[in-house]
A and B are shown apart, each in its own frame.
Chain A
Amino acid sequence: MAIIMKDLVIIGYGAAGFASLIKANELGIKPILIGEGPIGGTCVNVGCVPSKKMLNIGEVYYKSRKYIKHDIYPPFLDSFKEKDLLISELRKKKYEDVISSSDVEIIEGKAHFISPHEVKVGNQIIEGKKFIIATGSSPKIPKISGLDKVGYWTNNEALSPDRKIDSLAIIGGGPLGLEFAQMYKRLGVDVIVFEALPVLLYGWEPEISLMAEKILRSEGIEVVTNVKVNEIKKGDGKIIVTNKGEVEVDEILVATGRKPNVDLNLENAKVELNENHGIKVDEELRTSNKDIYAAGDVIGGKMLEALAGKQGTIAAENAIMDFHKKIDMLSVPQVVFLQPNIANVGLTESEAEKIYKIKTSKVMMEEIAKANIIGEVEGFIKMVIEEESKRILGVHLVSENGAEIINEAALAIKMKANIDDIIDTIHVFPTMGESFRIAALSFKSDIKKMSCCI
């Protein structure tokens, strides 16, 4: 049996693992990278990249239908082929080529810890001084009678369907469920969303939950909240039986969240789990074993591509250099790529008012010149500030190109900016990004009584 000794062993070759690899190389370390499945992990293969490509295809046709008033829909299966081409290109450019130019030894296979400093992959034992676990997450499947027997899709199958479907029921009204709802509706499929909680996007600002439902309904997507799915049965199609009635559809997509991939015999490494069933880490991403770090979805916190990448970088720096770097979690933005985009960063109003004396302001997008110019006035931007210092604590929005706007809000929160910092920063007119400044200005003035370039 081969035994390999390494300074750093990275388990997982998705976003977090790759970020760790790149940082390790920058710091002069050649790590071992252990992974299984397609290189690149969830994001490029079955996550952000393919889903945003499919949403983009749907958006192009949706806007075309709206403006030219002609009933055209994307070619169903060919659209997914177009997506596959993009994935192949990006996987090669951003992962395979990066590996080729990196100083790394790759081992393909599933890793299991056999001691606090050793993992086994096949018949190889790899001993490491430090480890970074970045094994990502998988779809979480609820226990519903008949679900396994009748069959269902996860995001994996929904991004590579084996056939054209005409109707889809989505179980789960979180970010993933909402994006797939709009994606499939705009591909010409009838869609219904079931959410067990009282609103979609539970835990987000309530305005956002209401607006998300309004956006879906406006496109003809059925939304049922506060609902319990009791059973799945086989009929001509697949029948979902709930406490509020039933629906029969071609296919069911389960989008009830994701679970961390922690099947690594972590007890042998003395690595503990947290209440989310992810790997328990401190703010420096160190696990309960001081020589093992974790990064990305496997922690079980916010499962975001950009955050996973940053965590991978920080974990590598802390592991190799014994630094004590942390991530400012308050300034981590999150986006649901519906059109218009839904985004947030920082504290919600209810979270903030438990800590600070706060003020909030909400500006509807119809007040923003650019929104009127491009004919996309749906949405709003809400800002939460600390009353005395006027420091920005949270920004929540629904807006065309909102994913671009939220980056500035994240920077403002990270830099502890107050509304005067934003008001005093000249923003380009006319842009959707200007809405961020106008939201800041709305704490001081009645923006309905202002001309364009204030």
Chain B
Amino acid sequence: MMKLRMNLRIDKSEIEGKVCENCGKPLTVEDVYARKIGNEIHYFCCSHCADAFERKMK
């Protein structure tokens, strides 16, 4: 079989870092917060953004 190195045909923008689901700020190890809303875990930069997101969901 011919040996392949990986042939990646995925837009690099699709594999960029995570952002706060409320304000869009990039998430870092220093500033990240998770909350389970319904059956899903959502990712935010802080608990205030989680509160705001949850208010908007209601």
Contacts and interface: CB of A to CB of B under 8 A. Distances in A.
Among B3, B8, B9, B14, find the residue whose CB has the most chain A CB atoms closer than 10 A: B8
B15 A223 contact: yes
A250 B4 contact: yes
Contacts, number: 93
Interface in A229-243: 236-237, 242
Contacts of B9: 245-248
A213 B43 CA distance: 15
Contacts of A224: 10, 14-15
Contacts of B6: 166-167, 169, 190-192, 222, 247-249
B37 to A, nearest CB: 10
Nearest to B14: A244
Contact of B32 (A191, A210, A242): A210
Interface in A139-169: 163, 165-167, 169
Among B7, B29, B32, find the residue whose CB has the most chain A CB atoms closer than 10 A: B29
Contact of A247 (B2, B8, B33): B8
Interface string B7-25: 1111100110110000000
A245 B10 contact: yes
Given A198-B18, A199-B18, A380-B29, A167 B5 contact: yes
Contacts of B4: 166-167, 236-237, 248-250
A214 interface: yes
A199 B29 contact: no
A25 to B, nearest CB: 44
Contact of B43 (A167, A198, A211): A198
B36 interface: yes
A423 to B, nearest CB: 24
Contacts of B15: 222-224, 244
Contacts of B28: 210
Contacts of A227: 14
A198 B27 CA distance: 13
Contacts of A166: 3-6
Contacts of A248: 4, 6-7, 9
B34 interface: yes
A248 B2 CA distance: 12
A276 interface: no
B34 A247 contact: no
Interface of B: 1-11, 14-15, 17-18, 27-30, 32-36, 41, 43
Interface of A: 163, 165-167, 169, 190-192, 198-199, 202-203, 205-207, 210-211, 213-214, 222-225, 227, 236-237, 242, 244-250, 348-350, 362, 364, 380
10 contacts: A166-B3, A199-B43, A206-B27, A210-B27, A211-B29, A225-B18, A245-B9, A247-B9, A250-B1, A250-B3
